[in-house]
């Protein structure tokens, strides 16, 4: 296990459930919110878990949300530590809504520059864009800097804002559900995308939530799918880096987004990792698949639920052939958790989070 501890010192979240973490957890406790139908052409529309409506231009909304989410995670910290901006779609929404740049391309650092500008950031700024694994990889990079002694703190911002290009692309690949996300569900028929901006402040100073380790495995044999061997490898590496065994894990936050094939591959792989599966939890039926922001958004929402004593409901039947179940209540023992995220391009990431108060 790497030397030095890294702790989660603050969290912020804006997602379909609410504009801040507390309101998001409260909305989840009430049963969640429905997705919104987003039109990508005159005759094609798909459900998306969109952020609550806000006035202003695309940039103005981005700046407002980023400032709010960062403030939730702030805790009085400064603006000189490393900033990691994690995103899959980056500034495509800006080009689509305002610039009208049909190339939908630009400098990779442009979006991070907008985020840093909104925060008047004085420290180094990094872009992490590894598809859906972006936010977890940003956390791992921040942890490396802190453990090496190069920084005492780091801020990770995971951001996915609305754009038709991403929705149309997933729809064209026939990956989207026309109605609802049902991770591991008996009637799952695709994923539902979501918008979110999340902030995680990492620190070397001890606190309740410790990031014990993690892993990033890339297996490109199936560029748009999950590889069982990579899932197995990422789990084992994350556990080894954390100094833990399979029997130490009390909960797994699964990737499961509602894909008929990928959900089944993940379920089978997890059964090979664990002699007896620990409780499993999924959050994508509540906020959708928030792509590059998902690692940060789902980590913040899960921790928010644990701290508030609430738990996501499962309002659909689980596929019995998978041989798994999703927890309907928080496990009685909840100290060590494994959070898994899988993305396009063969990225498979895993993070071990420990509750030092448990």
pLDDT 10s digits, 257-278? 999 999 999 999 999 999 999 9
- CA nearest neighbour of 278 among 239, 309, 305, 317: 239
Say how far apart CA 305 and CA 355 lie, in whole Å: 13
Measured at the CA of 232, the angle between CA 88 and CA 337, to 5 degrees, comes to 75
In a domain, 2, yes or no: no
Over residues 109-126, mean pLDDT? 95
Q: Is 182 helix (H, G, I), strand (E, B) or coil?
A: coil
193 with 229, same domain: the answer is: no
**pLDDT for position 1:** 38
| Nearest-10 Cα torsion for 286, 292, 297, 303 | 110
pLDDT 10s digits, 88-114? 999 998 888 776 665 555 678 999 999
- Last-in-domain residue among 203, 223, 251: 203
Measured at the CA of 282, the angle between CA 276 and CA 287, to 5 degrees, comes to 175
Q: What is the CATH number of the domain that holds 292?
A: 3.40.47.10
pTM for the predicted model, two decimal places:
0.95
Q: How does DSSP assign 121-157, residue by residue?
A: --S-EEEE-BTBTHHHHHHHHHHHHHHTTS-SEEEEE
In a domain, 252, yes or no: yes
- The span from the first CA to the last CA of the chain, in angstroms, equals 21
Burial class (CB in 10 A: 0-12, 13-18, 19+), 67: middle
In a domain, 1, yes or no: no
User: Which two tokens mark 156?
Assistant: 């990770």
The partner residues of 26 in beta bridges, in order of sequence, read none
214 with 182, same domain: the answer is: no
Say how far apart CA 235 and CA 64 lie, in whole Å: 37
Burial class (CB in 10 A: 0-12, 13-18, 19+), 149: exposed
- CA nearest neighbour of 177 among 302, 316, 54, 270: 316
- Last-in-domain residue among 203, 230, 256: 203
pLDDT 10s digits, 131-165? 999 999 999 999 999 999 999 999 999 999 989 99
170 with 254, same domain: the answer is: no
192 with 285, same domain: the answer is: no
195 with 334, same domain: the answer is: no
On average, the pLDDT of the chain sits at: 93
257 with 351, same domain: the answer is: yes
The partner residues of 126 in beta bridges, in order of sequence, read 84
17 with 144, same domain: the answer is: yes
Say how far apart CA 8 and CA 337 lie, in whole Å: 14
Look at the chain and report how many structural domains it folds into: 2
- Last-in-domain residue among 161, 176, 203: 203
In a domain, 225, yes or no: yes
Say how far apart CA 87 and CA 63 lie, in whole Å: 15
187 with 223, same domain: the answer is: no
Range of the domain at 13: 7-203
């Amino acid at each position: 296990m790497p030397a030095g501890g890294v702790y989660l010192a603050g969290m912020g979240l804006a997602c379909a459930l609410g504009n801040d973490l507390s309101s998001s957890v409260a909305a989840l406790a009430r049963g969640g919110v429905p997705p919104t139908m987003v039109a990508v052409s005159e005759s094609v529309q798909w459900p998306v878990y969109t952020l609550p409506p806000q006035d202003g231009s695309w940039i103005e909304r981005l700046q407002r949300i980023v400032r709010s989410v960062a403030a939730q995670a702030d805790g009085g910290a400064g603006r000189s530590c490393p900033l990691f901006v994690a995103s899959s779609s980056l500034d495509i929404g800006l080009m689509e809504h305002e610039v009208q740049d049909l190339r939908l391309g630009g400098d990779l650092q442009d979006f991070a520059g907008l985020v840093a500008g909104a925060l008047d950031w004085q420290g180094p700024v990094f872009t992490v864009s590894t598809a859906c694994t972006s936010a977890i990889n940003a956390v791992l990079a921040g942890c490396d800097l802190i453990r090496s002694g190069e920084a005492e703190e780091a801020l990770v911002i995971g951001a996915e804002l609305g754009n038709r290009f991403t929705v149309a692309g997933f729809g064209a690949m026939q990956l989207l559900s026309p109605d609802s996300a049902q991770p591991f569900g008996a009637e799952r028929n695709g994923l539902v995308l979501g918008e979110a901006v999340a902030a995680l402040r990492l620190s070397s100073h001890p606190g309740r939530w410790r990031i014990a380790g993690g892993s990033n495995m890339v297996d490109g044999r199936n560029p748009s799918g999950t590889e069982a061997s990579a899932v197995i490898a990422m789990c084992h590496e994350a556990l080894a880096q954390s100094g833990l065994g399979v029997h130490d894990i009390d909960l797994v936050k699964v990737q499961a987004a509602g894909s008929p094939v990928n959900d089944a591959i993940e379920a089978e792989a997890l059964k090979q990792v664990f002699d007896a599966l620990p409780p499993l939890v999924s959050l994508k039926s509540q906020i959708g698949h928030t792509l590059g922001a998902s690692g940060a958004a789902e980590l913040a929402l899960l921790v928010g639920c644990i701290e508030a004593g609430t738990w996501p409901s499962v309002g659909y039947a689980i596929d019995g052939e998978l041989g798994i179940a999703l927890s309907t209540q928080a496990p009685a023992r909840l100290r060590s958790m494994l959070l898994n995220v899988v993305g396009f391009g063969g990225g498979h990431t895993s993070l071990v989070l420990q509750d030092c108060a448990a």
